[in-house]
Structure 1
Amino acid sequence: MISAQSWADARILWDYHRMHHDPRPCSVAVALGSHDLGVADVTAELYHQGMAPVIVFTGSTSPTTRVRMPRGEAVHYRERALQLGVPDSAVLLEPRATSTGENIEFTKAVLEDASVKVSSVLLVSKPYEERRSYAMMRKLWPEVEVVCASTSMGLEEYADSIGDARMVIDMIVGALQRVLVLPGLGAAIEQEVPDSVVAAYERLCAAGFTSRLLPIDVAARPGT
């Protein structure tokens, strides 16, 4: 049972994680692989709106996605996008990345190999990964403009769509930890984190939403 306080704290983090960008046309849409197939849905919708002429789906598998997406995150995303009417000619695959740092590095290589000139990236992710992925893009690919996008669902609706509210809150907490620690590792730009967000994060950690926190030894590695 998730307490009212924990839901309230999770909503504070949820709102902070979202960059609240207005989607606009970019050189390419990059969809970050995850357990959430809805990322592919959002990417397809943005493609049909004319927001990007090319899509890169990036991601291998993780402990979270191995069963749900046995052929790999990028492959499952691509299959979903094709079902939603995106032409295969508009899709590039990056099937090797196992971290956000690799998502960025390997996507750059895929686009270079395809001779796609990039000045701006429409970065599509889970809602609570917007801020962290934005911060890493600005550090690791600083020459491009970054516009973040994700589903417009609120927290409760999103948790219902995933079917595991506790996992979603665990991931929200883990994403905030990475916002805090990655700049010190040289893997992301610094961002202001309001005291109210830090306090909500600490309460959620104390309440046991810690399964997605990086242990200290792993948190010392860039590119996570």
Structure 2
Amino acid sequence: MLPEDLHADVRTLWDYHDLRHEPRRSDAGIGLGSRDPGVAVHTAELYHAGRFPLVVFTGANAPTTVERFPRGEAVHYREIALELGVPEQAILLEPSARNTGENITFTRRLLASREIESVTLVTRPYQQRRAYATAKRLWPGVEIVCASKASSFEDHVTGEEDADRVISMLVGETQRITAYAELGFVVPQEVPAGVERAFGRLAAAGFTQRLL
């Protein structure tokens, strides 16, 4: 069990990465592939709520997803959305991307013939900030908002997700905000001092599996 001070650090990182953008209508919703089927479910919910008329699911496989989604993240996401009533003609598939940069680059290429001025990136709460910063770098001129199923860290790990794994993901995501900006992969994002301190304490506590 985590000490209470480390629980507070986890909540600090969780709140930092969940951008909580104001909902708005977009030209397309992009479900970013991951091991979490909830991303596909929430994309379908947003489609039915009228948030966008077109859905793109993007993602091949990573070592962490191949067992759960053996035919690829985007393929399985599409099947989930179809089961939830999203029309087949409203879904486009991008099955090749293996990282967030490729998710954005390949989706932009797929939509090149369409007039796309705004997109909603649908992802896990703790992936929002890096997804947003990546898209701002690779798809300039397009209005970008992020969306996730609203949940706290505690709610998120009551399902199939392991708490230690998610904490390690939070620590890794925080490191990548700065490291990837230095490499030019993402636009720079402010990292408040409190976030830096929380990151350092969690890394020192051993949550280092997702560090670069």
Given the two structures, how large is their TM-score scaled by the length of structure 1? 0.92
Q: Could you say what the CA RMSD is over the residues aligned between the two structures, in angstroms? A: 0.9
Q: Secondary structure at the match of 2:173?
A: helix
Q: Secondary structure at the match of 2:134?
A: helix
Q: Secondary structure at the match of 2:111?
A: helix
1:206 aligns with 2:188: no
**How many percent identity over aligned positions?**
53
Cα distance in 1, alignment partners of residues 138 and 82 from structure 2 = 30
Cα distance in 2, alignment partners of residues 191 and 179 from structure 1 = 7
Q: Secondary structure at the match of 1:11?
A: helix
Residue deviations 1:108-164 (CA, integer Å, cap 9, x gap): 11112xx32110010111000111110111111111000110010111010112331
Q: For residues 1-224 of structure 1, what are the structure 2 equivalents within 5 Å?
A: 1-112=1-112, 115-214=113-212
In the alignment, residue 71 of structure 1 is paired with which amino acid? R
Residue deviations 1:35-80 (CA, integer Å, cap 9, x gap): 0000011100100011111010000000110101101000111011
1:196 positional shift: 0.2
Q: Is the 8 A contact 1:23 1:122 kept in 2?
A: no
Q: Secondary structure at the match of 1:162?
A: coil
Cα distance in 2, alignment partners of residues 150 and 6 from structure 1 = 24
Cα distance in 2, alignment partners of residues 133 and 87 from structure 1 = 26
In the alignment, residue 110 of structure 1 is paired with which amino acid? L
Q: Is the 8 A contact 1:39 1:150 kept in 2?
A: yes
Q: How many residues align?
A: 212
Q: Is the 8 A contact 1:75 1:93 kept in 2?
A: yes
- Could you tell me which runs of 5 or more consecutive residues in structure 2 were left unpaired when the two chains were aligned: none
Given the two structures, how large is their TM-score scaled by the length of structure 2? 0.98
Q: Secondary structure at the match of 2:120?
A: strand
